[in-house]
Structure 1
């Protein structure tokens, strides 16, 4: 059995998908237990614990693996998964960005810093980020300093520049993400992929 060391868990996406996948899994339930005849058939209710953060995530991941189109960073489907070297940047009190690459694809992943397993900074209510394309574009522009947030054609350059400006250690990460944008051959012949992570974990 493999053990993941999670860095980021997209709780908002998990909480959105889990009731659609398995409504009973998302809530605490009560089970009636009937005692023996000597106790005159008395019943008692035993409450089951609400599944924790990791259990909820793993239930969603199993469903996606069984039923959804999951590709790789180099050939994404509706989702993509894989292991790649990347750097992490907490750009503002509420924004986290993972920039990485394979031999043929540059990858940008953006989300809320509140979903870090050990948040390094408190979430901010003044500058909402989330894992949606407008927020990711804003962080990309801030990091890359190209200012290309208004139009889609600047996306590939923003990812390329941002991934080269991030400082810090390069770590192998395992990721499962929802595909937001895919531009094959967008920068020097390399594809560019932008995604909203469902989880990010450290990898060997």
Structure 2
């Protein structure tokens, strides 16, 4: 069982509806979903299953069809686990930015704060999506105390280094948006990986996967 911090319902519905019905039936068996859900999926793949059932099936589909990679060598879809600083609680109409560092790799995840668990709001009140790069760069440009006009990877790194929120150890699955390099405050060159998460969940450090 996962204790979720963030689940993008928008991405989840979009991806779930694209899974071919015949493949969805096989995935329901392979993912070992609840027998009741399995029965529904076999009889009517688009039936009203729960969001978490959909997430199990979408994750199984991505693993099967897209060769999901680890965060330090990000392919279009990648997963990881590390300490994340999370900004965006308290402002469900705005963005959430999550970031952490693993050695010489800095991970930055951008999404809509509406999808943070505990601050759901009616979808019709959300005026914009924050899961794309233009929204990320608008967020960076509006941040006080930063220099502007740097290259995108440097902008992301600088913003990440300014965050002071207490970290939470989490695991995630995300779609890659940007992969580059930048030099940090310590003078070391690091890889910058920017993605938009399908989900982020709390994780235990003693189950950390070695990259």
Matched, 1:165 2:162: yes
Pairing 1:28-67 to 2, within 5 Å after superposition? 50-67=48-65
User: Alpha-carbon deviation of 1:140?
Assistant: 2.8
Mark the structure with the bigger radius of gyration. 1
Pairing 1:115-154 to 2, within 5 Å after superposition? 115-119=115-119, 125-126=126-127, 128-143=128-143, 145-146=145-146, 148=148, 154=151
**Number of aligned residue pairs:** 182
TM-score, normalising length from structure 2? 0.74
Which blocks of at least 5 consecutive residues in structure 1 are unaligned?
32-47
Aligned to 1:191: 191
Q: Deviations over 1:97-132 (max 9, x none)?
A: 101111011111111111112117887545x24201
Which secondary structure does the structure 2 equivalent of 1:193 belong to?
strand
Identify if the C-alpha distance between structure 1 residues 87 and 29 changes in structure 2 by more than 3 Å, giving closer, same or farther.
closer
d(CA) in 2 for partners of 1:163, 1:5:
24
User: Alpha-carbon deviation of 1:145?
Assistant: 4.5
TM-score, normalising length from structure 1? 0.77
d(CA) in 1 for partners of 2:11, 2:137:
19
Aligned to 1:70: 68
d(CA) in 1 for partners of 2:9, 2:198:
8
Identify if the C-alpha distance between structure 1 residues 99 and 129 changes in structure 2 by more than 3 Å, giving closer, same or farther.
same
Aligned to 1:6: 4
Which blocks of at least 5 consecutive residues in structure 2 are unaligned?
25-39, 205-211
Aligned to 1:19: 17
